[in-house]
Chain A
Amino acid sequence: MSLHKVKVFTRFERFWHWTQMALIFTLLFSGAGIHGFHHLLNFETLVWVHVISAIGLIILWTFAIFWHLTTGNWRHYMPTTDGLFKVARYYAWGIFRGEDHPYRKRFWHKHNPLQAMSYLFLKVALFPLLWLTGLAYLLYGYWGQGALTAGSLEWVAVIHTAAAFAMAVFIIIHIYLLTTGHSFREHVRPMITGYDEVDLTPAEEAYLEQDEPGRILE
């Protein structure tokens, strides 16, 4: 095993990440306004912005899901307990004592176990929850009449709002964790350039040098 600078975030992945970031911020901002937390824009504009961003995010995610499945990148998010405790211990204890991060990125595990697990939760629980309730909310007019119309909208709204709060909590922790380790810039750079230090097995190294020389810098 040896450390190499390898392109771990492809162009699509980076595009997906930053577009998603912009859309989620827009959704949080407009959603908070619709909910009545601020009045920086009028309701009509807020709803328009919210709906357009939501549609944009859904389209983006449709591509992302396709990309995950076809490229095999879904494997990065497979949950594992291997090393999970070490990482948790690091954030709770070792980080204060100046210890190094216990996780080394691997070619098919570019996220640490805790990170992978939280991203997985985001992808399989929080995002679908927001989408489904959001779509139900948006298509309220097509629910038909009767029992659904009066009482159930409140439940949809409650779940949608609660999930949005959870999303905001995730973002705060996500951004904060960028400051751990070497530096904020070093954490953000891979998502801009695509390259990061990865522990490669000899076979992976040989494969990259042979078949994808552009992906491995040094």
Chain B
Amino acid sequence: MPLRVRGVARSTSGMLLCVNRIWLEGSPVKNSVLLHSGNSKRGRSGIFRIVFCLAALCGGCFAGLAHAENNSAPPGSMAAVEGTSKTAVELGINEYDVTAKQRPVDKSVTKLGETPENKSTTDHSRLKELQGPFSSGPEVTRACLGCHNKAGDQFIKNKHWTWKYHNDKTGQDLGKSVLVNNFCTNAAGNEGMCAQCHAGFGLTDSRTYDFKNEENIDCLVCHDSTGSYYKLPPTRGNKACAIMFQGKPPIDWTRVAQSVTLPGRNNCGACHFYGGGGDNVKHGDLSSALFNPTSEVDVHMGEDSENFSCIICHVGEGHEWSGSRYAPIARDTTGKGKPGLPRQTATCESCHGVQPHPSSLLGIKLNDHTDRVACETCHIPEFAKGGVATKIHWDWRTAGRLRNGEGYREEGYVQGNGEPRHTYKSIKGSFRYAENVKPVYKWFNGTEIYLTVHDKFDPKGPVEINHLEGGPDDPGSRIWPFKRMETIQPYDKGNNTLVYMHLWGDDKDALWGNYNFARAIRHGMDDFNLPYSGEYGFVKTWSYWPIVHMVAPKEKALACQECHARNGRLAGLGGFYMPGRDHNQWVDSIGLLALLATLLGVLGHGALRILLAKRRKSS
């Protein structure tokens, strides 16, 4: 029987420490060679990149070969696999590795933690209700709700729980439970995986889940302060995904329950930094670089500056938090509000006011801009900072390539902090990454029209997943920075709609494991009684992600000429006149011609005078 060896390496001074996992599997793979390289555990501070080739020999013997190379190696230069490929190959998926691992605990500033001494009126470790023993999450939640007897009622109305959002303005029913994005596409039907980031226990199927059962609320994922609490996908999925469940230490429920506090960056970040299937994949401005950032990366969250936790800006009461991806405030005219009255909003203006610049000549001019230009536009010159890349392009068409009958993944990009990123995964297709990215700029008034699975579109594309409303003639609009994600993803060719795919599951249809789009789409659509023509194609889609985090120190804000220039950052925005960028061709042409004619006129006049004067003299 062939033996598969999987080495997960940790490096200390470039030395091989251990090979900590070996498993046997009965698959008929010849020359089963498996290679593992780079694991996020090696982490941010790792200077060395180590690539292991572990060749499995017959009869359970194996010989290890370690090969170390340093950080300066170009992407894609890792050790050869099976003598042909130049990139490393790994089995399985580990999308939310960090969510399922011990995380560093940040000492960020929260409402109760602005001073070193803890101002909380309750030491939870001394509560008799929390002495345990507890053996499951719902048991802990029951204890929490025993005292916090309104928290459950509050939380089951929250998006983190319902995965639903109704936009009153557009009338659209949105939320993770229904939308199709251009990353992993749909959570609907794939809750067995996606609900790893549902703030509840046991959401495996949103059609049957009891959203009224408050004991299934996961208090700990947001309130744990030990960093040891983790969540796994609710179901195990295909064997290709087995790595996600390997070697997890059991959760010490009692200890975690006694260590609750206000959410820190590591609580929110465990999910929000990993949206879309990995570190900073989705947003571009929310990444693991914000666990312990410098002020250069984020002037508010920097440990050397304000050291904010998320909830300092995303203020909340009654388990509702300010800040919305579905209905953002594109123009806040209220500002700080009345003195001493905190506002329940996450806008820049709620702290900095609507006239935030000093009343110098420059400051007055900059304050003039705030009605038409979002703060973020000038103050976030780049996103995906701090060495963590964001995914900018995703091509689902290449998904399903196999090696030795198995799906695999390749690491073809090394990001700024030295960690490799996957550029190909059989389960998902091909990706491109970028770091320190200049945003795209668009007029935006806060209204987004989402493309739901029911909406038809023109398949010529690019199809906008979320269409941004607004324009220069709309006083409620401002120029906003966005990350634009471009994806080529499956759609229903007959009906010209997006599709739900059945990605996750231990069955013959799940794409992740079977690699068959036709069956995965049929299954996904059938699950929700959606019409499907039976024929799928691929369409280019764009989605827009407002860039609001990773605000730069003020010295690094955009200089005027970044936009006020002929080919500046706003070169693509039409419909309004901007000094330095725009000019009237007629005025310029006639004006320059007039100047030239005047110059030639006086020169001619003068030359004639001199000539005739000479002639008079000589005669």
Chain A positions within 8 Å of B, measured between CB atoms, are 34-36, 39, 42-44, 47-48, 51-52, 91, 95-98, 137, 140-142, 145-147, 149-151, 153-154, 157-158, 161-162, 164-166, 168-169, 172-173, 176, 179-180
Contacts and interface: CB of A to CB of B under 8 A. Distances in A.
Contacts of A166: 594
Interface string B559-597: 111001110000000011101111110011011101100
Given A47-B560, A52-B361, A141-B368, 5 more contacts: A97-B616, A145-B371, A151-B576, A154-B576, A176-B602
Contacts of B566: 36
Nearest to B608: A96
B472 interface: yes
A173 B602 contact: yes
A172 B599 CA distance: 7
Given A35-B583, A173-B598, A153 B576 contact: yes
Interface string B603-619: 00110110011001000
Contacts of B579: 34-35, 137, 157
Given A154-B577, A158-B587, A172 B475 contact: no
Contact of B595 (A43, A141, A145, A168): A168
Contact of A141 (B367, B584, B588): B367
A172 B576 contact: no
A137 B580 CA distance: 13
Contacts of A179: 606
Contact of A150 (B561, B564, B576, B587): B576
A145 B475 contact: yes
A35 B581 CA distance: 8
Nearest to B575: A150
B179 to A, nearest CB: 33
B362 interface: yes
B365 interface: yes
Given A36-B566, A158-B587, A169-B595, A44 B472 contact: no
Main secondary structure of the interface of A (DSSP, over half): helix
B361 A48 contact: yes
A169 B594 contact: yes
30 contacts: A36-B565, A36-B580, A36-B583, A43-B561, A43-B564, A43-B580, A44-B560, A48-B361, A48-B362, A96-B608, A96-B609, A97-B616, A98-B612, A98-B613, A141-B364, A141-B365, A141-B369, A141-B371, A142-B368, A145-B475, A149-B475, A150-B472, A151-B473, A154-B577, A157-B579, A158-B587, A164-B591, A172-B599, A172-B602, A176-B605
A140 B364 CA distance: 11
A161 B587 contact: yes
B371 to A, nearest CB: 7
B372 interface: yes
Contacts of A145: 371, 475
A187 to B, nearest CB: 14
A149 B580 contact: no
A158 B591 CA distance: 11
Nearest to A177: B602
A47 B365 contact: yes
Contacts of B369: 141
Interface of B: 361-362, 364-365, 367-369, 371-372, 472-473, 475, 559-561, 564-566, 575-577, 579-584, 587-588, 590-592, 594-595, 598-599, 602, 605-606, 608-609, 612-613, 616
A101 to B, nearest CB: 13
B475 A42 contact: no
B359 to A, nearest CB: 13
A98 B473 contact: no
Contacts of B565: 36, 43
Contacts of A180: 609
Contact of A165 (B361, B371, B595, B613): B595
A42 B473 CA distance: 29
Contacts of B590: 162, 165
Contacts of A162: 587, 590-591
Contact of A44 (B362, B576, B595, B606): B362
A172 B595 contact: yes
Nearest to A175: B602
A42 B595 contact: no
Contacts of A150: 472-473, 575-576
Contacts of A39: 561
Contacts of B365: 47, 51, 141
Contacts of B612: 96-98
A43 B560 contact: yes
A173 B606 CA distance: 11
Nearest to A48: B361
Contact of A161 (B368, B581, B588): B588
A189 B417 CA distance: 70
Contact of B560 (A42, A51, A158, A169): A42
A149 to B, nearest CB: 7
A43 B562 CA distance: 9
A52 B577 CA distance: 23
A42 B616 contact: no
Contacts of B575: 150
Contacts of A153: 576-577
Nearest to A153: B577
Nearest to A171: B598
A112 to B, nearest CB: 17
B354 to A, nearest CB: 12
Contact of B594 (A91, A158, A165): A165
A182 B185 CA distance: 85
A50 B29 CA distance: 75
A70 B422 CA distance: 81
Which 10 pairs between the two chains have the least Cβ-Cβ distance? A141-B368, A165-B591, A154-B577, A145-B475, A176-B602, A43-B560, A43-B561, A150-B472, A44-B560, A96-B612
B463 to A, nearest CB: 28
A104 B365 CA distance: 50
Contacts of A142: 368
A176 to B, nearest CB: 4
A35 B602 contact: no
Contacts of A176: 602, 605-606
User: Most chain-B Cβ atoms within 10 A of its Cβ — which of A39, A164, A165?
Assistant: A165
User: Most chain-A Cβ atoms within 10 A of its Cβ — which of B472, B594, B616?
Assistant: B594
Given A150-B472, A165-B595, A35 B559 contact: no
User: Most chain-A Cβ atoms within 10 A of its Cβ — which of B564, B577, B602?
Assistant: B577
A34 B371 CA distance: 22
B364 to A, nearest CB: 8
Contacts of A141: 364-365, 367-369, 371
A97 B598 CA distance: 22
A137 B93 CA distance: 58
A156 to B, nearest CB: 8
Contacts of B606: 176, 179
Nearest to A95: B609
Contacts of A34: 564, 579-580
